[in-house]
Each structure stands twice: as C-alpha cells, then as structure tokens.
Structure 1
Amino acid sequence: MADNHHEGALGAVYQAKRPEEVAALYDGWADTYDAEMAVAGYRHPSICLALLARHLPRGAAPLLDAGAGTGLIGEWLGIMGYPHVEALDISEGMLAKAAAKGVYAALHRLALGGVLPFEDGRFAGIVSAGVFTTGHVGAEGLDELIRICRPGGVIVLTVKNTLWDDGFSARIAELEAGGVVTRVEETEPYVSMPGELGTVPSRGLVLRVAVLPSPRLRG
C-alpha cells in the first residue's frame, strides 16, 4: 500500500549519510510522492504557506522554495498572489515533477548546507518545508539562506525537534543576539504526518532578516 511504501522511503531518506544518497532516494520516490504524502496528511507545506502569507505581503518577489521537491508549495504560492517563485532541490527527479506543474520561474538543482550560487539579498522571501530534519540539512544551512534573503525579508522553515534540541535552537539564539535575524513567529510543535506512527514533532519558524546585515553572520 502507498502509506507503507512512503514509510519505508522516508526511513531510508532519514538514514542516508551523503547528499548523493538523499538525491537518489528522492529520485526513485518522485512518481508517487504527491499521492503518498497526501495519504499521510503531510502538513509542512500548508503550514509554511500560512506563515509566509502572514508575514510577507502579497506580490513580494522573487521567492525561493528551498527543498521544493515536487512543487507542492509552488502551486499554492501562485494562487496566493506571489508571482515569481524559484525552486531549489537536490533531486533531479523531484525537480522534473515540479517543472511539469509549470509554476516556477526557474529551477535549481542544488544542495542546501553549502555555498549557494546566488547574490546577497537575491530573494524577498524563502520557504523551506521539511528540509531541516534528520538526514537532510542542519543548522549549517541557515547562514546561506540568510545571506541570499534581502534585508527585511522573511525565511519560513520547519525544524524537527531532534534537530532543534541538537544545536539548532542555540544557533537561532546566537543569530538573534547578533542582530542578524528576528524570530517573528514560532509555532507549537506539531506532527508533520498524522498518518505515520511515531513521527517526531516539528515546529514552524519565521525569521526576519535584519535591515542592516551584521558582520557576525560570517564570523
């Protein structure tokens, strides 16, 4: 059954040790991903969409869907009045599905966690749903997202509790203390997939990038 398959696929992704393994696993999952995550009641995209719409004005552009997968959020962003959204994902197979939806202005096959080929302040807002989690990206991925988000822009992301407790919350506190970002909203922890037993809760987080970038960001 679909839900049994997605549990196996997700478990394999969480256990992957290298970005190449993650990409290959998602490539193989791309054809059935949307249907299986719908069965699981996947909440991250809708929660991120709501948070972005609450903190970023309609029409703000361009936006980056960082970890876009098959483009679940991209379609909704267009409906909500955000006219220019670009997709970033490590999986070529997932990006092919996203491209077929015709909602992204550009697609970038890249991995989060390292240097990104975008200029400082490129994006008015960034959404990253389900990426900061086990086996994917940790706090090391934050600095580049902050760098490529324009001053005053917002970054909306979800963070799994295991990651939050293992240094992520401390890094957010450091960035706030350094005047790099402001934490404008943090949800209560919630289960991202009610259809999957034993899911570790995550939280939604909204960061606003400081108008005057701090030199401490890269220090």
Structure 2
Amino acid sequence: MSSATHAGHLGAVYDASTTEEVAALYDGWAATYDADMNRAGYRHPAVGLALFARHAPRGTGPVLDAGCGTGVLGDWLGILGFAPVVGLDLSEGMLAVARARGSYTDLHRLALGSPLPFADGEFASVIAIGVFTTGHVGAEGLPELVRITRPGGVIVMTVKTTLWGQGVGAALSGDPRLGIEEQTEPYVSMPGESGTIPSLAVVARRR
C-alpha cells in the first residue's frame, strides 16, 4: 500500500505497521536512499547538525546517532570534531552503508522504544534525526535516550508536528530530567515531496 501523500519507498515506510516491516523496507531502500532524499531536498540532517554544533561543546563524546540510517551524520560529526560516534538503526541494510563510510566506532542493530544495551549516562550527547516521524518512533522512544545521556549533555531531535502534538512535546517538556534549550518553528523537511507534513527540531539538555 502507498501513503496517501507519498509514493514509492517513502510512502511504504510511512505506511508500515510493524518494526520488522519498517526494517525490511529500509533494507530494500538502502542502496538508493541518499540519492532519493537528496532529490527531495532533505533538510533534517543539516538542521540537526547545526543545532548540535551550537549546543554541544566541540570535542565532546561519545555521541550516539540514534537512527543513523546510512551514516551521513557520522561523517559530518567527525569533521566537526565530535568523537567517538556510535550509531544505531533498525535496518541492517542501512547499517551496512553506514559501516562502509568508516565514521563510526561501533554500530548496533536496535530499535528505539525498547530497552537499549547502554549504561546510564553513557553518552555525552545524542542526536536523533528523522526518527520521530510517521510510522516510526513516538514518545515511547524518549525515556531510554534520556537515561543514556549524561547530565549536562544534549539530545537533539527532529519531530513531525503531528507526533509533537500526540505526546512527544508533552513528554519532553514534562520530563524533570530535561530542559528545553531551543525549538525551531515548523519547517518542511522535504520540499521536493509534495504533501510533506512539517516538522520541528528541538534541543533538550539533560539535568
């Protein structure tokens, strides 16, 4: 079935009903994902990276790229001096592309929304770009990201406005362990895809 507003791979992943289905669809998309998203004018990585560089002290690490996909952010975080960078994603196909880039010290096939195999406060900061979106992860993915971020660290996220209003915003603002440092106005993440629901980006600092 295709999404009412998106066709092809994007519509399929938005329409997926299980984590396993989403993973399988991304496995099949991995080889052309970067080119397809570039054609759509995908803005999330640039917006998220700009906010991360603004709020996370340069040189701090380790950083978790939660939902790293093909690993574009791993390359850029390294260029800006953030290291080491660890990635997780639910798709082995996407992780294979990320692994080939050589920018991550470790990669894990994991899904957000379940317990993560990391210690409390293991990461200096976390970035999650394009993850809190239609058919993917909602507020259930937040508690573990907060747990594994050390006090003083930041969590940088992009969130579909629909999900923001369906619990993600309330979960972030209502968590006493977090303080919201910056929140963008809603913007269209893929201007080349008609019908794209706006998103916003947010920076929360762990207390």
> TM-score, length-normalised on structure 2?
0.96
Question: Sequence identity, in percent?
Answer: 64
CA deviations on 1:43-76 (whole Å, 9 max, x unpaired) are 1111110000000111001000000000011100
* Partner residue in 2 for 1:3: none
- Contact kept, 8 Å, 2:173 with 2:179, in 1: the verdict is no
CA deviations on 1:122-150 (whole Å, 9 max, x unpaired) are 00010100000110000011000000000
CA deviations on 1:189-215 (whole Å, 9 max, x unpaired) are 0000010001000000000001xxxxx
Structure 2 CA distance for aligned equivalents of residues 203 and 59 of structure 1: 26
Structure 1 CA distance for aligned equivalents of residues 141 and 39 of structure 2: 29
* Partner residue in 2 for 1:189: 186
- Contact kept, 8 Å, 1:7 with 1:196, in 2: the verdict is no
Structure 1 CA distance for aligned equivalents of residues 104 and 9 of structure 2: 26
* Partner residue in 1 for 2:195: 198
* Partner residue in 2 for 1:163: 163
CA deviations on 1:76-134 (whole Å, 9 max, x unpaired) are 00111112101100000000000000000000000001100000000001010000011
Task: State the number of aligned residues.
Answer: 202
Shift of 1:155: 0.3
Matched, 1:111 2:111: yes
Structure 1 unmatched runs, 5+: 1-5, 211-219
Matched, 1:23 2:23: yes
> TM-score, length-normalised on structure 1?
0.91
Q: After the TM superposition, which residues 4-15 of structure 1 pair with which residues of structure 2 at under 5 Å, given as runs?
A: 7-15=7-15
Structure 2 CA distance for aligned equivalents of residues 164 and 127 of structure 1: 17
Structure 2 CA distance for aligned equivalents of residues 185 and 148 of structure 1: 21
Q: Which residue identity is paired with 1:207?
A: A
Structure 2 CA distance for aligned equivalents of residues 173 and 80 of structure 1: 29
Structure 2 CA distance for aligned equivalents of residues 106 and 48 of structure 1: 21
Find the residue that maps to 1:172 and give its secondary structure: helix
Structure 1 residue ranges, 4+ long, deviating more than 3 angstroms after superposition: none
Q: Which residue identity is paired with 1:190?
A: Y
Q: Which residue identity is paired with 1:159?
A: V
Structure 1 CA distance for aligned equivalents of residues 156 and 121 of structure 2: 16
Q: Which residue identity is paired with 1:133?
A: T
Q: After the TM superposition, which residues 70-219 of structure 1 pair with which residues of structure 2 at under 5 Å, given as runs?
A: 70-175=70-175, 179-210=176-207
C-alpha root-mean-square deviation of aligned residues, in Å?
A: 0.9
Find the residue that maps to 1:195 and give its secondary structure: coil
